Structure 1
Amino acid sequence: MKKIFITGSTTGLGFLAGQLLLELGYEVVFHARSEKSAKEAKLKLNQDAPFVIGDVSNLDEIKLVAEQANALGPFDAIIHNVGVYETNAEVITKDGLRTVFAVNVLTPYLLSKLLARPERMVFVSSGMHRSGEFNLEDPQWKNRMWNYTQAYSDSKLFDVMLTKWFARKWPGTFVNAIDPGWVPTRMGGAGAPDNLMKGIETQIWLAISNDPEALVTGKYFHHKEQRKPNSLAESERNQDELVSYLEKIS
């Protein structure tokens, strides 16, 4: 039986993906920011499942999440779903990082490095990554006027870049990124136009399917179809520079 770890899985796409995987008979380990959110998510599940707890906006708790998850693993697949869309210019983590960068970029990178290597790994990106810019001169927006839409788009570009980097460095693992679409979650808003179930099917398919189309690596998908990502993500030099920066700050 495959065992799958999903970050950011108390609400939205992460929770729905985990719930469906449980119903399909897979083992799922969920991740919650706090004991309170874990308790609330457990009440919504149709069956019991383990949770790891940690606020991944700070470095110490990312490492604690990794320790807890490794104790419950190893995993056949890891879905890096956790993400935030932070509008407040004043929100800085205790490590001096922008929350959107810490959660959306540093967390999936560091967990990937700290967890036992899985057979498959899925990064949940966004169509907004196409507007992303590769800026490592000021990735924490210390010297630029805060632009939360741009910061989010950049973070999702970085996720695709990490996908490409891990696919190069881990040839035995299928590593892919997805755009779930603009779906009606807490982050997407109630008026989002895309289909919610369509938003989870690709990450589940990449995590468990033996279809030849799913057994690929370093690709970017939208609704189970390969799409061409932002060309900035294709540069191996960009990928290496991003990872060097993440190594430095972590």
Structure 2
Amino acid sequence: MVRALVTGGNRGIGYAIAQGLIARGVDVVIGVRDAQAGAAVAETLGCAWVHLDLEAPETFDPAIAAAGDIDILINNAGILIEDSMIDNPDGLRRSMQVMFHAPFDLICGVLPYMTRAGAGRIINLTSGWGTYDEGMEGPGGYGVAKAALNALSYALPRDLPSGVSVNAMCPGWVHTRMGGKAAPRTPEEGADTAIWLALDVPGDVTGKFFRDRQEKAW
């Protein structure tokens, strides 16, 4: 059975991605920062969970070991710090850790199995705020961190083994704790393209950026 690790899978878009993958027959493991909350959500979903705090790199290797052989990695978890990068430089550092360094470290962690299997899919949840084409908007260091993740998604295919793909996707403005109540999209709508990339697109599609199943400019 295909196994997926979804970071931040206990709520919002991550929960919807996990739920959608499970409905498609995927063996899902959610990575959660809060173990108690994660265990309760995993029971509701009917999946496994691992303690994975993206600001605590010491949790990465144990989480990957506990999750087992991962065929699909979905780097979903993120943070939104709205402070000025100058006034709060630590906010930028935290944004980079959660939305760039941690996803890269997790990719490195699951890659040995994907290499042996000769197949694997990596999906990075990003934002139009992190694209030059859309003006690098957004508050604080959010767009900068997402731009770094976009650059990684674009460049990494040259270093990945045959059969392993990486793509980025923007879920749009979604009604979650981060997106706020005014957001027009449901978590399920935001999750759709990630599930599509994980299960439906050809394996040789890599290094691309998508929104609503359509390729977009970086």
TM-score under structure 1 normalisation?
A: 0.75
1:179 corresponds in structure 2 to 170
Higher mean displacement: 65-74 or 188-197: 65-74
Partners of 2:107 and 2:76 in 1: CA distance = 13
Partners of 1:204 and 1:166 in 2: CA distance = 21
Higher mean displacement: 9-18 or 32-41: 32-41
Partners of 1:16 and 1:98 in 2: CA distance = 28
Structure 2 unaligned segments of length 5 or more: list them. Answer: 115-119
**Deviation beyond 4 Å, 4+ runs, structure 1:** 88-93
Cα offset for 1:8? 1.1
2:136 corresponds in structure 1 to 132
Cα offset for 1:37? 2.1
Within 5 Å, which residues of 2 pair with 1:77-156?
Answer: 77-87=72-82, 92=90, 98-117=93-112, 118=114, 119-130=120-131, 131-132=135-136, 149-156=139-146
- Per-residue deviation, residues 178-237 of structure 1 (Å, max 9, x unmatched): 01101111111111123432211111111111x44x6400000001111111xxxxxxxx
Within 5 Å, which residues of 2 pair with 1:58-73?
Answer: 58-60=56-58, 64-73=59-68
Identity %: 29
Query: Number of matched residues?
Result: 205
Within 5 Å, which residues of 2 pair with 1:187-202?
Answer: 187-202=178-193
SS of corresponding position for 1:10 = coil
Question: Which has the greater radius of gyration?
Answer: 1
Cα offset for 1:58? 2.8
Q: CA RMSD in A?
A: 2.2
Q: Would you say the 8 A contact 1:132–1:156 is kept in 2?
A: no
1:163 corresponds in structure 2 to 153
Q: 1:71 to 1:39 in 2, by over 3 A?
A: closer
